[in-house]
Structure 1
Amino acid sequence: MFREQRRKQAADKLAVGVEWRGTDDHVFTTGWGEPIHPDTVSSLIATVIKRYNSPAQGARPGQPLPHARLHDLRHVHATTLLLAGVPVHVVAARLGHADPSITLGVYAHVIRTAEASAAEIFAQAIGE
């Protein structure tokens, strides 16, 4: 998917020529290469969810998607990594947190859940 997006950007860059304003460090850009504002992407996510939940044709899904923002995907990513046992300092680096204590503060509830699971696994391992 990202390779296809990069190909589309390369085509846009060729089409726009010297008016291209972008750099190579943004995945999603306007047609002239500037970064897309995050609110634009968030509103597009809401539109996609709405169309999925209420399609113009065909049946509605059995399980509709809940409202979500772009920022919610960040939380899903961090939560999934932490519950999978990825160390907090690694998750903090992926999120761009300067200090893992920021990650610990935001995701303390997830870490407590993971700790409870670890305790249960340990108890089973020692035969309790």
Structure 2
Amino acid sequence: MIDGKRVEGTTKSGRSRVVSLDEETTQILREHRARQIAEKLMAGDEWKGTDDYVFTTGWGEPIYPDTVTSLVPKLIATYNAPKDRPKPKTPLPHARLHDLRHVHATTLLLAGVPVHVVTARLGHADPAITLRVYAHVINEQLATAADIFATVVKDAAA
């Protein structure tokens, strides 16, 4: 949104990309799509959508981006102070929607996914950007790499 108006177009780099999803997420999106089709049938002529959007209002228009952004703190608050179960041992910290992108990248890097793969998923033009933004994660991996190497050498010598 710029000056209160929806702006659509390409990514910053001007390139499109395909991001793979796991089967469980794909199934959840299929189920969501089925509910959306049911909403479209119920709305009839009142449906305003074009079927171009994954997340829409009940009448098919794309949701306002700030709606999703404002939802994240509410979901965190609900998780941290549930009404129907005990509070979690470890509450979730405050986060913005964009922070989920960083969680995604950090999780992949810490799991050992190669930097060039994470770069492609994030849509960075060059792995150097990913390395700069996530240098703290890479530094953690460097320390872990030393331990892994020492273990392999010890095991080989034994």
Displacement of 1:57 in angstroms is 4.5
Specify which of 57, 70, 93 is matched with residue 66 of structure 1: 93
Distance 1:123 1:74, change over 3 A: same
Q: Which residue of 1 aligns with 2:110?
A: 83
Displacement of 1:63 in angstroms is 2.4
Q: Which residue of 1 aligns with 2:134?
A: 107
Unaligned runs of 5+ in 1: none
Instruction: Tell me the TM-score normalized by structure 2.
Output: 0.69
Q: Which runs of 4+ in 1 moved over 6 A?
A: none
Q: Return the alpha-carbon distance in structure 2 between the equivalents of residues 81 and 103 of structure 1.
A: 12
Unaligned runs of 5+ in 2: 1-27
Question: Does residue 49 of the first structure (1) align with residue 69 of the second (2)?
Answer: no
Q: Return the alpha-carbon distance in structure 1 between the equivalents of residues 38 and 50 of structure 2.
A: 13
Instruction: Tell me the TM-score normalized by structure 1.
Output: 0.82
Displacement of 1:58 in angstroms is 4.6
Identity %: 64
Q: Which has the higher helix share?
A: 1
What amino acid maps onto 1:23 in structure 2? D
Q: Return the alpha-carbon distance in structure 2 between the equivalents of residues 98 and 30 of structure 1.
A: 33
Q: Return the alpha-carbon distance in structure 1 between the equivalents of residues 137 and 90 of structure 2.
A: 25
Q: Which residue of 1 aligns with 2:149?
A: 122
Q: Return the alpha-carbon distance in structure 2 between the equivalents of residues 71 and 88 of structure 1.
A: 20
Root-mean-square deviation (CA, aligned residues, Å) is 2.2
CA contact (8 A) 2:49 2:62 kept: no
